Structure 1
Amino acid sequence: MSVLVFVIVVAVSYLMGCVNGAYYLAKHVAGKDIRQFGSQNAGARNAGRLLGKWGFAGTVMIDAGKTLLALEITNKVSGGNGYWLVFAAFLVLVGHIWPLHLELRGGKGVVVYLAAALYFTPLSILVTAAILAVLFAVFRRFTIPGLIALASIPVTTFIAGHPWIYTAGLLFMLAAVVYAHIAYNPV
């Protein structure tokens, strides 16, 4: 059973992660490779720059939807095992940031990370939003305040008393998101 679960989780999660909302919306609607415009990143913010508000919203819906669907499939095949769920969430993130068919140049993983947090501990999204609102009001920028707000997710998960594996998984996912931000935007 566990070999079959492993195969299903790896295949479904990584492949769903590779479905990059920004890339496919830009390709379908504008006939362009989003990685050639704006920040040259296949993410929701860049989709918003290229396609407008609906491009941003559509990308968020696709990327959050694929994450939640992969986690729900994993939940069903694993009987709700937290280790499998965290593994699946991380694989969706890896597929999103490093999709093979897009030459390992996907998005930065913020929406995938937020969707996983929503699945594991919905309260963390409210805390993150509150922190981001305060920091944005002070700094009038998104990137650094956004990353600080994202860092609150594992802390909120831990404080809320969710299984430790969710906190650990969200910490690893946060590290991947921060790495993607640094790798795609060297300072």
Structure 2
Amino acid sequence: MWSDMMMMCMIILISYGLGSITGAYYIVRIYTGEDIRNVGSGNVGATNAGRALGKKGFLLTLFIDAGKVMIALQIASLLNGDDRYLVLSSIFTMIGHLFPIQLGFHGGKGVVTYLATALFFSAPSIGFFAITMGILYVILRKYTIAGFLSMASIPISGYLMGESFTISIGLSSLFVMVVLAHNRKFPHALDT
């Protein structure tokens, strides 16, 4: 059997590698020949791919970015289903998405990666997220604030719905990474 250290290294490398597959970059490059970092907001994410290619760009990016998360977590689950290894995989998938080596460490902001991870870990928490998002948007009329507050509910609702404390801490860590990525790339994103 593999040693824990070897298992961790394998999960880290696979997860980072899969996380580095930035759907928006490749979809826009394939369909237009352009570098998405020079298009629209310059962000390597589904929303900017939608700006460049319309609904097709948005949906293809969403599919690729969610798919890479599911594949990475499924591989980690097959190698060792322990929650610690799954959280390790999710964190390095996020790091790969935010800082892909092949794009000079200039990746997306991690929202789809976070939500896909939450779906893998605790599908009911995504339902709670959607309901919370709808209610907060009606009250606040601010999409970004409603979105961030709703995403913050995922680790809590997942834990309350029976997920382990380890998974909840992992989801909390991913949420913090998403907030930092938004703040780093768009310092006033949280002001809207």
Q: Under a length normalisation based on structure 1, what TM-score does the superposition of the two structures give?
A: 0.96
Q: CA deviation at 1:100?
A: 1.3
Q: CA deviation at 1:18?
A: 0.2
Distance 1:32 1:130 in 2: 37
Q: CA deviation at 1:4?
A: 2.6
Q: Structure 1 runs of 4+ off > 4 angstroms?
A: none
Percent identical across equivalent pairs?
39
1:5-154 paired onto structure 2 within 5 Å? 5-78=7-80, 80-154=81-155
Distance 2:70 2:30 in 1: 23
Compared CA separation, residues 184 and 155, structure 1 to 2 (3 A):
same
The worse-fitting range, judged by mean Cα deviation, of 151-160 and 129-138 is 129-138
Distance 2:104 2:143 in 1: 27
Distance 1:94 1:152 in 2: 22
Q: CA deviation at 1:49?
A: 1.0
Structure 2 letter corresponding to 1:152: S
Q: CA deviation at 1:71?
A: 0.3
Q: Work out whether 1:178 is the aligned partner of 2:179.
A: yes
Give the count of matched residue pairs: 186
Q: Which runs of 5 or more residues in structure 1 are unaligned?
A: none
SS in 2 for 1:32: coil
C-alpha RMSD over aligned residues: 1.1
Q: Under a length normalisation based on structure 2, what TM-score does the superposition of the two structures give?
A: 0.93
Structure 1 letter corresponding to 2:19: G
Distance 2:44 2:88 in 1: 23
Q: CA deviation at 1:35?
A: 1.1
Q: Which runs of 5 or more residues in structure 2 are unaligned?
A: none
Distance 1:129 1:87 in 2: 26
